[in-house]
Amino acid sequence: MTKNITVAYGDGIGPEIMDSTLEILREAKADLNFNIIEVGKNIYEKGFNSGLMPSAWEDLNNTRILLKSPITTPQGGGYKSLNVTMRKKLGLFANVRPVSSFHPFVTTKHPKMDVVIVRENEEDLYAGIEYRQSEETYECLKIVTRSGCEKIVRYAFEYAVANNRKKVSCFSKDNIMKMTDGIFHKVFDEISKEYPQIQNDHYIIDIGTARLAAKPEIFDVIVTMNLYGDIISDVVAETSGSVGLAGSANIGTDYAMFEAIHGSAPDIAGQDIANPTGLINAAVMMLVHLGQNEVASNIRNALYKTIEDGIHTGDIYNSTTSKKRVGTKEFTAAVISNLGQKPSQLAVASYSSANKKTEIKAEKTGAIATKKTLIGFDLFLDWNEEFSDLLAKLKEMESDILEVKMISAKGLLLWPLSDQHMMPTYKKGLTVLRFIGKGITGKSSNEIIDANKTISQQDIIDMLGILDKKKFDFVKYEGLYLFDGKPGYTSGQGE
């Protein structure tokens, strides 16, 4: 049965490269119906803050497959990135970006590059939850869940199995963010044990990105968190020779979206010079996803043959291997005329023989249910007097139940100090008081001496009431919990 897919033309160069891609799909006899929806800039400006109209969502709910051109999020005005919103609304938890170099036909310093970035797509700082807390201070929340980590890490290993890949590398910054990046790394270590046939290793994101930029050939599949994945997928795309070449899949349990990885490039829009290769590669990934493997192979082979023939758009044109500089339309015509042919030096695609779809496994509850107990809270004060004035008020902040165990600012311990030499320069503004139930912790706030004691929410509320009466200006609090008796919070630096 002919498959209906939803098609979004997007902004900037979007319409041109989509025309090119759909024409190739038609000529290659892909068994598809195209339902065109409107997305992007115009829709934002009509007042749809998400960049998509209800009718478009409805079409998507029917087809479950979206082929999408890049869009422009208007600057300012509180518009949310449609890409981010769509990925989240559709539960597209995995962003998959295979990038390989077209050496020697496209200039690259990395002829052996052949990596796949599997990026977590729903969590991390990209939830965009931000608060201005004072004159001076802004906060963004980085949110990571264990089940989010499990889903993406498992997908990366399943992808490696399905695509005959040898190794999965994990990138995180868990030496600094021991809890959020820590759980990502921990889950990776757990799940990698279930795939003994696949090698695995871990890199701290800074050195990992550096290695990837210098020697991409040492990597195979990389799984990482949202922000890091955003950065490293652009690094591999750019160092492959051009960001115009790679496509990507956004995979969820129910939906999938396919797009080029580049932006809408409004500066070159409408000039018939954009390179449609990224979107064509995305369409090939879509065909494989739909099981139309023969058409997928046919299109990819024609595309690679065209590039091999030196028929190049301006972004990849070079004096050594290019034969003809062409526009979008002429490039499209060349690909169509090459349908049925194969590249002779670049890798030949044959998706029919390697036909395995990556499985999306049901989530396991990797963690055994833990016991959560409330033992205190961090109060974020907007303090604009001297630090000594705050210390002088500490006595007023004690109840029968709670006491201040620590004061910090930007994570740095201010009080109590074992040595006054260690006092950082105090800057007025956001200052954090750590209240903990009396008798629960020892010398430092993460040394638990009585894990059976707890406090109640009402105890926090009572203390907030006391502080409010004394005219303290507080902007937020964070509850402090033990999980199975272990602290669910970091200690102050220097504590």
Nearest to 249 by CA among 216, 283, 221: 283
Question: Applying CB under 8 A, which of residues 3, 15, 19, 88 lies at the interface with a copy of itself?
Answer: 88
3-class secondary-structure state, position 80: coil
**Contact range with a copy of itself by CB under 8 A, out of 25-33, 193-201, 303-311, 407-415:** 407-415
490 lines the binding site for a copy of itself (CB under 8 A): yes
Q: How far is CA 225 from CA 123, 124, 159, 180, 197, in A?
A: 8, 7, 17, 10, 24
Query: The dihedral of CA 23, 25, 28, 31: what is its sign?
Result: negative
Nearest to 40 by CA among 63, 18, 65: 18
173 lines the binding site for a copy of itself (CB under 8 A): yes
The contact pattern for a copy of itself, residues 283-322, with x = CB under 8 A and - = no contact, is ----------------------------------------
Dihedrals phi, psi of 288, to nearest 5 degrees = -60, -40
Residue 87 in tokens: 């990925």
Residues between 357 and 376 with contacts to a copy of itself, criterion CB under 8 A = 367, 369-370, 372
Question: Applying CB under 8 A, which of residues 218, 439, 478, 485 lies at the interface with a copy of itself?
Answer: 478
**Contact range with a copy of itself by CB under 8 A, out of 36-44, 176-184, 303-311, 388-396:** 176-184
Q: How far is CA 284 from CA 122, 207, 247, 279, 287, in A?
A: 24, 33, 9, 9, 5
Question: Applying CB under 8 A, which of residues 50, 281, 322, 328 lies at the interface with a copy of itself?
Answer: 50
Residue 285 CB, shortest distance to a copy of itself, in Å, is 20
54 lines the binding site for a copy of itself (CB under 8 A): yes
Closer CB to a copy of itself, 269 or 339, in the complex:
269
Residues between 105 and 164 with contacts to a copy of itself, criterion CB under 8 A = 109, 122-123, 125-147
214 lines the binding site for a copy of itself (CB under 8 A): yes
Question: Applying CB under 8 A, which of residues 3, 4, 27, 84 lies at the interface with a copy of itself?
Answer: 84
Closer CB to a copy of itself, 36 or 354, in the complex:
36
The contact pattern for a copy of itself, residues 323-352, with x = CB under 8 A and - = no contact, is ------------------------------
**Which residues pair with residue 159 across a beta bridge?**
none
189 lines the binding site for a copy of itself (CB under 8 A): no
411 lines the binding site for a copy of itself (CB under 8 A): yes
183 lines the binding site for a copy of itself (CB under 8 A): yes
Closer CB to a copy of itself, 350 or 444, in the complex:
444
Question: Applying CB under 8 A, which of residues 36, 42, 176, 218 lies at the interface with a copy of itself?
Answer: 176
> CA–CA separation, 91 vs 27, rounded Å?
32
Residue 123 CB, shortest distance to a copy of itself, in Å, is 6
Q: What is the DSSP string of 222-285?
A: EEE-HHHHHHHHHHHHHHTT-TTS-EEEEE-SS-EEEEESS---GGGTTSS----HHHHHHHHH
E strand or H helix that includes residue 303: helix 293-308
> CA–CA separation, 428 vs 445, rounded Å?
23
Closer CB to a copy of itself, 31 or 468, in the complex:
468
Residue 245 in tokens: 């070449």
Query: The dihedral of CA 149, 150, 156, 159: what is its sign?
Result: negative
Using the 8-state DSSP alphabet, how is residue 164 labeled? Answer: T
The contact pattern for a copy of itself, residues 229-268, with x = CB under 8 A and - = no contact, is -xx-xxx-xxx---x-------------------------
44 lines the binding site for a copy of itself (CB under 8 A): no
481 lines the binding site for a copy of itself (CB under 8 A): yes
Count of residues that interact with a copy of itself, criterion CB under 8 A: 114
> CA–CA separation, 367 vs 191, rounded Å?
12
477 lines the binding site for a copy of itself (CB under 8 A): yes
E strand or H helix that includes residue 474: strand 474-483
Closer CB to a copy of itself, 206 or 389, in the complex:
206
384 lines the binding site for a copy of itself (CB under 8 A): no
Query: Which residues, at least 6 apart from 425, have a Cβ–Cβ distance to it below 8 Å?
Result: none
